[in-house]
């Protein structure tokens, strides 16, 4: 039940973050540097949004395997994201070749923005799990003491 709520919260916050970031970057391009705008711009937030959905899916899967797998899943997802991001930037440079610097700059901005968002979310979730585990241990310790005392 907890994981369903966490997944829903992540998707909502991830969607809002993606919309806000996309709007801000699009405004900057259209108001300040319209000559640098490139047609593949919408593909960048879509890439990171889809990867975020993959990320929370992997996170949900790993929690079923055990809480000890969460950190490994986080690291594996970050490695996959890094490798895919490098491939996307290299492919854009070789095949599209239009406003490469603007594309890579925008891509890196989104990469770090979503990296910060996902890391913050992961740390808060980890903290909540530890707090829940501590509360469960206190409850079980107190229930065992009261059972043996009675």
Successive 10-residue mean pLDDT values, the chain, 150 residues: 83 96 96 94 97 92 82 92 97 94 97 95 85 77 52
Read off the tokens for 149: 């005392």
Read off the tokens for 68: 């000890």
pLDDT at 132: 81
Cα four-point dihedral sign 123, 78, 111, 44? negative
pLDDT at 143: 56
pLDDT at 150: 46
Q: At what angle do helices 70-91 and 43-65 cross, to 10 degrees?
A: 160
Read off the tokens for 21: 């970031």
The torsion of the CA quartet 122, 127, 128, 133, rounded to 10 degrees, works out to 130
> Which of 88, 79, 93, 74 is CA-nearest to residue 44?
88
Residue 150: DSSP 8-state: -
pLDDT at 1: 62
User: What's the pTM?
Assistant: 0.84
């Amino acid at each position: 039940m907890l994981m369903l709520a966490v997944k829903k919260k992540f998707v909502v916050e991830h969607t809002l973050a993606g919309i806000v970031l996309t709007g801000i970057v699009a405004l900057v391009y259209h108001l300040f540097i319209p000559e640098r705008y490139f047609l593949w711009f919408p593909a960048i937030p879509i890439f990171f949004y889809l990867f975020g959905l993959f990320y929370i899916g992997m996170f949900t899967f790993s929690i079923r395997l055990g809480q000890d797998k969460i950190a490994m899943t986080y690291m594996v997802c970050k490695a996959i994201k890094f490798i895919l991001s490098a491939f996307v930037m290299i492919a854009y440079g070789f095949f599209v070749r239009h406003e490469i610097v603007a594309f890579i700059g925008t891509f890196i901005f989104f990469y770090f923005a979503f990296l910060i968002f996902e890391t913050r979310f992961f740390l808060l979730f980890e903290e909540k799990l530890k707090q829940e585990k501590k509360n469960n241990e206190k409850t079980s310790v107190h229930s065992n003491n009261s059972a043996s005392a009675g």
